Amino acid sequence: MKKKRAGKPVPKETDERVRRSKETVLAATYELLTEAGLGGVSVDAVSARSGVAKTTIYRHWPSRSALVLDACSQLGSKREAPNTGSLKGDVTVLVTDLARRLRTARWAGVLPSIIDAAERDPELAELHSRLHAGLMGAFNLAVEQARKRGELPRTQDTSHLLAALVGPLFYRRWFSREALDERFVQSIIESAVAKLKP
Amino acid sequence: MKKKRAGKPVPKETDERVRRSKETVLAATYELLTEAGLGGVSVDAVSARSGVAKTTIYRHWPSRSALVLDACSQLGSKREAPNTGSLKGDVTVLVTDLARRLRTARWAGVLPSIIDAAERDPELAELHSRLHAGLMGAFNLAVEQARKRGELPRTQDTSHLLAALVGPLFYRRWFSREALDERFVQSIIESAVAKLKP
Amino acid sequence: MKKKRAGKPVPKETDERVRRSKETVLAATYELLTEAGLGGVSVDAVSARSGVAKTTIYRHWPSRSALVLDACSQLGSKREAPNTGSLKGDVTVLVTDLARRLRTARWAGVLPSIIDAAERDPELAELHSRLHAGLMGAFNLAVEQARKRGELPRTQDTSHLLAALVGPLFYRRWFSREALDERFVQSIIESAVAKLKP
Amino acid sequence: MKKKRAGKPVPKETDERVRRSKETVLAATYELLTEAGLGGVSVDAVSARSGVAKTTIYRHWPSRSALVLDACSQLGSKREAPNTGSLKGDVTVLVTDLARRLRTARWAGVLPSIIDAAERDPELAELHSRLHAGLMGAFNLAVEQARKRGELPRTQDTSHLLAALVGPLFYRRWFSREALDERFVQSIIESAVAKLKP
DNA sequence: CAGTAAACGAGACGGTACGTCCCGTCTTATG
DNA sequence: CATAAGACGGGACGTACCGTCTCGTTTACTG
């Protein structure tokens, strides 16, 4: 039925209306997510907030999970590795930055609800791992660079190192709810990196 | 109106029905909590599961939060400090035990939902801190003993130490979802304690 | 599980709330019906108009048709036969009255939509025949009395008579939309009854 | 832009596409009308049935009512007066024919929905009166011929006669749903015409 | 041991959200 | 520029729960 121009194999989403609808909806979803958590995101609420009809939302996303998933895709923004020349330098930059984001970023308040949902909803479990990968990507890159510089043996398992670096941050942010101050960050980095050197 | 027995100043809950109802409800609540997370706990669901009428439940607990709180009171079971004679020894026992519990205990799957709710519901925030205190109590005890033995300077802030010890565990349990094996635990302890010695 | 007092076999609708809800809903339905026709009756609209929650409406009526049906049950109010002593006298009273009701009664504007729906929906077809029976009941009674008085032979088929009496009224009310005035009513009665006498 | 043929001041619908679209749409509309009643006619449904896009339909008809109106234009086919030589003869032919059509014609099932809609939609009210005029046209012609023959006084109001003739048919077709058999038709004609003669 | 106050079950009720269907309007792209 | 394709807002559907509430009925304590 539909004939397509030869040189235009997939005119994917050329429709302006679709683009605009999706954008509006995703923005509203993200807003609701950060304001009221995962539980606050209902298709009805998103529709009311965005002004986009429920029908339209269901036209583009099959389920609430899918919508949330999509709205969070912007979250896992890959960080660049800083490349200060030494592993400790890189790590300091990264951990400091992560601490700052855990203090301020709005998604920080939502992560637990996503983690919780991931325990049950496989669709959201995938989101969880994507977010995790996004957050940790820069760390892995820094480690890779350190390997190239010879700071780290090729074979060493660095997952312990990573856990030692970010685990305490997460712990403080959500469990003990103590401050993520400069001294704490420094202390953690010392502990984690100390073991590597000798 | 109400006459009280002399030697029984607080005859609170002499009514057998009340006692039985409460018990049944709390058990059902706890079951639901561990099976379906906080989100799975609703007065409706608890009523259906326990066979106790919704009215009765609301008579004894003012809100869902209060009910959950009550049902979790048994959770924060204070651990004894092991007292092996050295801080590292104690810590090894405690961390190993915590790792084991994170792997197996049913409440481990629920904690994120409680943490999430705590971000918004002050009532559940209190539960959160109680659980946290319960989990960390033994660690604080061990640290205290170490102080008495002179292993640690009186003034040292040990919160960094604790974060370095349990943070990585939490990280692995809920974020990276990697295994909490023996080697990992050992590695973490080394990192955290190393700094203290000199 | 449920134990019932002996002497109270069916405590049918003793609940005041149910009674009030039903009443409110039926009133609103009837209002909507007369204002906007069958098409104007939607469960949503009834809910909005009556203030009764949609859930509650569905609790008491399984479908829109059932609701409309119930709301119309009051419509088919059986008319008494007038008993003036002669068939023509009775018939004059009845036809005059019917003409008046066709002019003024609010349901008159709705009947066509019910007739239409009855062509397709068997549930509403039943309503149609109930309404029809209600409207014609008095006529049949009058005929019966005439038979007893010997004005009509036992065997005569009176359905033709009835059709000749009310048919023209209906025709004028809905098809030609001319006035249902006194002269017309008289004229119709003359035509219909004339044939019987000799 | 548009070039017009010289000798054709009104080149109305020279476009073959338009003609074909209209035809297809009207046919589909009529089909739907007779199958599912007025309620079954929606632009969506017509579009689906005819294969013509909704846009196109709305280009040619401003509203559903207009479309239905157009599709029904063929319905009010004026009947010729039979001219048997006597009023009763003519009327017998006409009523018998009407009865036959009420039994068999597909539009008979639709009329109530049109009548209902006419109560609210003025556009359809016009359709209603056109249909009515079409149906009654032949009767009026027959009456006119009778007047010319002197069978009827010039001044007599014949609307009562017409109502007495067709009213009972309509009543039986839609209200009582009894059969429109030969005996009934004869009986009705007798009643209605009897009064005129003397 | 009778009377009474409470605890209790059953479930009606107002709500919110769900995901679906269909409609009439409006926009975009194709021929 | 007529047309096809289909996105969109809107309204209604009937369902599933939820938390509140109002009942009538047990039941255990009291006097």
Question: Would you write out chain A's pLDDT as a tens digit for each of its 198 residues?
Answer: 333 333 334 445 567 889 999 999 999 999 999 988 898 999 999 999 999 999 999 999 998 889 998 998 777 666 678 889 999 999 999 999 999 999 998 888 889 998 998 888 888 888 888 889 888 999 999 999 999 998 888 877 889 999 999 999 999 999 999 999 999 999 999 888 887 755
Element (H, E) at A102: helix A87-104
Q: What is the pLDDT of residue D24?
A: 92
Q: What is the pLDDT of residue A87?
A: 92
Task: Tell me how close the Cα of D58 comes to any Cα of chain C, in angstroms.
Answer: 23
Indicate the SS3 state at residue A52: coil
Residues 6+ apart with CB under 8 A from A61: A67, A70
What pLDDT, in 10s, does the model give residues D96-148? 999 999 999 888 888 999 999 888 888 889 889 888 988 888 999 999 999 99
Identify the residues numbered 167 to 196 in chain D whose C-beta atom is closer than 7 Å to any atom of strand F: none
d(CA B191, CA A195): 6
Question: Hey, are the CB atoms on D38 and C116 less than 8 Å from each other?
Answer: yes
Structure tokens at C94: 């009845």
- Looking at per-residue pLDDT, the higher value among C16 and C99 belongs to C99
Question: Hey, are the CB atoms on B113 and A116 less than 8 Å from each other?
Answer: yes
**CB pairs < 8 Å spanning C and D:** 115
Give D2's pLDDT tier (boundaries 50, 70, 90): very low
Residues 6+ apart with CB under 8 A from B98: B135, B166, B169
Across the range C15-38, mean pLDDT stands at: 92
Q: To probe the interface with C, which of D95, D113, D182 has the most C CB atoms within 10 Å?
A: D113
Residue nearest to nucleotide E15 (CA to C1'): C53
Collect all residues of chain A within an 8 Å Cβ-Cβ radius of residue B105: none
Phi and psi for C144 in degrees, rounded to 5? -60, -45
Structure tokens at D48: 């689906």
List the nucleotides on chain F closer than 7 A to a protein CB.
Answer: 1-31
Q: Which of A55-59, C118-122, D63-67 has the highest mean pLDDT?
A: A55-59
**Minimal Cβ distance to B170: which of A136, A160, A170:** A170
Task: Tell me how close the Cα of A194 comes to any Cα of chain B, in angstroms.
Answer: 7
Residue whose C-alpha is closest to residue D136's, from D107, D174, D98: D98
In chain B, which residue's Cα lies nearest the Cα of A184?
B160
Find the nucleotide nearest C62 (Cα to C1′). F14
Q: Find chains touching chain A: ≥3 CB pairs under 8 Å.
A: B
Q: What is the pLDDT of residue B77?
A: 63
d(CA C28, CA C70): 12
Across the range C92-112, mean pLDDT stands at: 92
Q: What is the CA radius of gyration of chain A?
A: 21
Across the range D161-172, mean pLDDT stands at: 95
Percent of chain D with pLDDT over 70: 89
Question: Hey, are the CB atoms on B170 and A175 less than 8 Å from each other?
Answer: yes
Q: What is the DSSP string of C48-113?
A: HHH---HHHHHHH-SSHHHHHHHHHTTTS-PPPP---SSHHHHHHHHHHHHHHHHHH-GGGGTHHH
Question: Hey, are the CB atoms on A191 and B194 less than 8 Å from each other?
Answer: yes
3-state secondary structure chain B: CCCCCCCCCCCCCCCHHHHHHHHHHHHHHHHHHHHHCHHHCCHHHHHHHHCCCHHHHHHHCCCHHHHHHHHCCCCCCCCCCCCCCCHHHHHHHHHHHHHHHHHHCHHHHCHHHHHHHHCCCHHHHHHHHHHHHHHHHHHHHHHHHHHHHCCCCCCCCCHHHHHHHHHHHHHHHHHHCCCCCHHHHHHHHHHHHHCCCC
**Minimal Cβ distance to A163: which of B119, B129, B168:** B168
Distance A21 CA to E15 C1' (A): 29
**Is A136's Cβ below 8 Å from some Cβ in B?**
yes
**Is B167's Cβ below 8 Å from some Cβ in A?**
yes
Task: Tell me how close the Cα of D47 comes to any Cα of chain C, in angstroms.
Answer: 22
> Which residues of chain B fall short of a pLDDT of 70?
1-14, 76-79, 197-198
**Is D126's Cβ below 8 Å from some Cβ in C?**
no
Q: What is the pLDDT of residue C163?
A: 95
Distance C1 CA to E13 C1' (A): 24
A100 touches strand F (CB under 7 A): no
Collect all residues of chain B within an 8 Å Cβ-Cβ radius of residue A95: none
CB D52 within 8 A of CB D21: yes
Identify the residues numbered 27 to 46 in chain C whose C-beta atom is closer than 7 Å to any atom of strand F: 42-45
**Minimal Cβ distance to A119: which of B37, B132, B164:** B37
**Is B178's Cβ below 8 Å from some Cβ in A?**
yes
Q: Find chains touching chain D: ≥3 CB pairs under 8 Å.
A: C
Distance A141 CA to F28 C1' (A): 71
Residue whose C-alpha is closest to residue D171's, from A153, C102, A14, B56: C102
Distance B31 CA to E6 C1' (A): 29
Q: What is the pLDDT of residue D106?
A: 85
Go through the domains of chain C in sequence order and give each one's CATH number: 13-71 (1.10.10.60), 87-194 (1.10.357.10)
What pLDDT, in 10s, does the model give residues D14-26? 667 778 888 899 9
Distance B18 CA to E5 C1' (A): 15
**Is C36's Cβ below 8 Å from some Cβ in D?**
yes
CB D182 within 8 A of CB D159: no
**Is A58's Cβ below 8 Å from some Cβ in B?**
no
Distance D122 CA to E24 C1' (A): 19
Q: What is the pLDDT of residue B5?
A: 38
What pLDDT, in 10s, does the model give residues C44-83? 999 999 999 999 999 999 988 899 989 987 776 666 778 8
List the nucleotides on chain E closer than 7 A to a protein CB.
Answer: 7-31
Identify the residues numbered 51 to 110 in chain C whose C-beta atom is closer than 7 Å to any atom of strand F: 54-55, 58, 63-64
Q: What is the pLDDT of residue A198?
A: 52
d(CA C83, CA C184): 23
Q: With DSSP H G I counted as helix, E B as strand and the rest as coil, what are the percentages for chain C, rounded to 5?
A: 70, 0, 30
Q: What is the pLDDT of residue B13?
A: 57
Structure tokens at A98: 């992560």
Distance D45 CA to E24 C1' (A): 12
Collect all residues of chain D within an 8 Å Cβ-Cβ radius of residue C176: 132, 136, 159, 162-163
Question: Hey, are the CB atoms on C169 and D167 less than 8 Å from each other?
Answer: yes
Find the nucleotide nearest C5 (Cα to C1′). F25
Task: Tell me how close the Cα of B168 comes to any Cα of chain A, in angstroms.
Answer: 4
Structure tokens at A44: 């009805």
Q: What is the pLDDT of residue D134?
A: 87
Q: C56-95 burial string, b = 16+ CB within 10 Å, else e? A: bbeeebeebbebbbbbbeebbeebebbeeeebbebbbbbb
The residue with tokens 């029904």 is: D72
Q: To probe the interface with B, which of A64, A119, A183, A184 has the most B CB atoms within 10 Å?
A: A119
Q: Which segment of A39-53, A131-145, C3-17, C151-165 scores lowest on mean pLDDT? A: C3-17
Identify the residues numbered 18 to 57 in chain B whose C-beta atom is closer than 7 Å to any atom of strand F: 42-45, 54-55
**Is B160's Cβ below 8 Å from some Cβ in A?**
yes
Task: Tell me how close the Cα of D26 comes to any Cα of chain C, in angstroms.
Answer: 22
What pLDDT, in 10s, does the model give residues D4-15? 444 444 445 566
Distance B26 CA to F29 C1' (A): 25
Q: Do chains A and C touch (3 or more CB pairs under 8 A)?
A: no
Residues 6+ apart with CB under 8 A from C2: none
| pLDDT beyond 80 at C91 | yes
CB C36 within 8 A of CB C29: no
Distance A2 CA to F8 C1' (A): 21
